[in-house]
Structure 1
């Protein structure tokens, strides 16, 4: 999401994304915790850590301008917590080298943007998750937000199916590569009917944006597999609309602080909010603590079945009509 204030900051999708970040923070972050934020660049929402009363903050970002913005935001605050900042790309470099003598320093590691960029290759995704594992204390959580590839792919497949039904066998080699709603347009860079595990790029452009964001689909079974190999156990991957509905009693009042016209008087998501939030998902993993309880067992998910089941689930839950 954008790191700059301005007209975009007032857009529906930006306000909803900021709400989702604040909601996750409220659930996971406890007072005096040590929190590590991956791809922390920018200082727009830095105050959420102050409000959460954390004890120590570790900011990691590959952009020198981004990390400087974040440092300046911290320095301009009341300094309620201590902080370290590291300029490095966590899907390219070893974090441990920069941490020096600190071993597993973080109670929580979050990645609230850019996780999807790490899924350009398996090597990048693996490096990120190994770094997360080295940062986390036993029992600690890795959580964040990323575009929901299951939802996006289900919409894409629905679009392809509708196109083929309309064309009645005409132009069999042409696959539509766009998904449109009144709020956004998603364009896949390569027309394809297959979901590769890594490197499936697309552009996401919201209605009020000048330029699109470039993302990669996150193949969730591969995400779970690589996390397990790095010593992290899967807890949950949940679409943000479901996440909101499950926690509506807690968050209905809170979401109203992020602007008008997001929910109805009963706190239910309005159609535009549902459409935008539905593009994203939470993810939660935990580093097991062998001294507290036996490690959780992660269910083995067969890739094809998982994606098909997700596609059916999303297709049945979604009533939006997509154009080719």
Structure 2
């Protein structure tokens, strides 16, 4: 695996282990009516009475069972989830380096949409001083707080663990600054991982989420996150013969195609055993425009495949990838099993392994997992002075 990692998906310029669909440059796709003016919006009574999906999202994540490592390792998307977690780790780590490199010693972070606390260890490793965790799912926030308390209890006597506050709130409707224990608290970083797209149900909700993310950032502070790429989703929908697309691990279903409003463009996303909720397209040029209201400028926007290709070239990131088991060894050890018995899922990896000079095993994901993770992008905004 160690030797194979360096051959995988761009670590040394070779392309064998990543499908072309996950590596192709973003195509310029004209989204019909996506950038129309607000005066052209459909304001029919049916639109005005559109269901608020916040409770549905909260209920889903509140009822999602917490499982141990043994159960997670049996998941069909075990390596994909690890890959996404590695990508977040690299993003968070590099932004923390920037903040601390600029002279900030007591780093404060807002984890907007913290879930069950999956990023707590990242903040711990980053040596931050203060963390505010906020999420719409009350049960998730409670589990996040329990994780934090366990982490403090198990820490070394001489280790200083960051202070933390936990807030259960709909961050697309409620102003977080009114709920802070310290009303004067300002943040160096706001992290919003796989969450912001829920707020694009309406302009009001998208703006409130953005306000919570950016209003209390210090000058030079960062708003970072991950979200589905609207262009990629629409491209795949338009190429489909139906109103849905996907594979054995994920499915995206739209209500219609050919017309994509700026806000409230709903689709249903299902990811095996993890996500089964309505989401909304985030038209990124509009997202970027709205962020300017809060004096934010875009400094990075990359698809996951592009971010991966760039970061995996660095030794420390490859080492972390191995530690986090973010790629699946191919071929697997004698007597072992790949994540799926469908050999066609690894044609790209086999083709790569057959090249001269490639040492086995290589690190990869199944084709379905690459296909699923390639719908996402990374973004970084910075607060102007």
**TM-score when normalising by structure 1:** 0.76
Structure with the greater relative contact order (CA < 8 A, sep ≥ 6): 1 or 2?
2
- Per the alignment, residue 92 of structure 2 pairs with 25
Query: Does structure 2 retain, via aligned residues, the 8 Å contact 1:146–1:281?
Result: yes
Alpha-carbon distance in structure 2 between the residues aligned to 1:258 and 1:100: 35
Q: For 2:122, what is the secondary structure of its paired residue? A: helix
Q: For 1:20, what is the secondary structure of its paired residue? A: helix
Give the number of equivalent residue pairs. 272
Shift of 1:220: 0.7
Alpha-carbon distance in structure 1 between the residues aligned to 2:81 and 2:166: 25
Q: Which runs of 5+ in 2 are unaligned?
A: 1-60, 101-105, 331-348, 350-360
Query: Does structure 2 retain, via aligned residues, the 8 Å contact 1:255–1:262?
Result: no
Distance change (3 Å), C-alpha of 1:96 and 1:45: closer
Alpha-carbon distance in structure 2 between the residues aligned to 1:269 and 1:91: 34
**Which of 162, 178, 188 is 2:244 aligned to?**
178
- Per the alignment, residue 66 of structure 2 pairs with 4
Alpha-carbon distance in structure 2 between the residues aligned to 1:266 and 1:28: 29
Alpha-carbon distance in structure 2 between the residues aligned to 1:95 and 1:211: 25
Q: For 2:234, what is the secondary structure of its paired residue? A: helix
Q: Does 1:280 align with 2:362?
A: no
**Deviations for 1:257-283, whole angstroms, at most 9, x for unmatched residues?**
333517876667664453232121111
Alpha-carbon distance in structure 1 between the residues aligned to 2:170 and 2:252: 26
Shift of 1:179: 0.7
Distance change (3 Å), C-alpha of 1:44 and 1:139: closer
Q: CA RMSD of the aligned region, Å?
A: 2.5
Distance change (3 Å), C-alpha of 1:185 and 1:214: same
Distance change (3 Å), C-alpha of 1:228 and 1:183: same
Shift of 1:284: 0.9
Q: For 1:212, what is the secondary structure of its paired residue? A: strand
Q: For 2:226, what is the secondary structure of its paired residue? A: strand
**Deviations for 1:290-318, whole angstroms, at most 9, x for unmatched residues?**
xxxxxxxxxxxxxxxxxxxxxxxxxxxxx
Alpha-carbon distance in structure 2 between the residues aligned to 1:87 and 1:177: 35
Larger deviation, residues 66-75 vs 1-10:
1-10
Shift of 1:191: 1.5
- Per the alignment, residue 231 of structure 1 pairs with 295
Alpha-carbon distance in structure 1 between the residues aligned to 2:296 and 2:169: 22
Shift of 1:115: 0.9
- Per the alignment, residue 270 of structure 2 pairs with 205
1:92-241 aligned within 5 A = 92-99=173-180, 102-103=183-184, 105-159=186-240, 163=241, 176-188=242-254, 190-206=255-271, 208-209=272-273, 212-241=276-305
Larger of the two Rg values belongs to structure: 2
Q: Does 1:258 align with 2:324?
A: yes
Distance change (3 Å), C-alpha of 1:241 and 1:86: same
Distance change (3 Å), C-alpha of 1:283 and 1:3: farther
**TM-score when normalising by structure 2:** 0.64
Alpha-carbon distance in structure 2 between the residues aligned to 1:267 and 1:133: 37
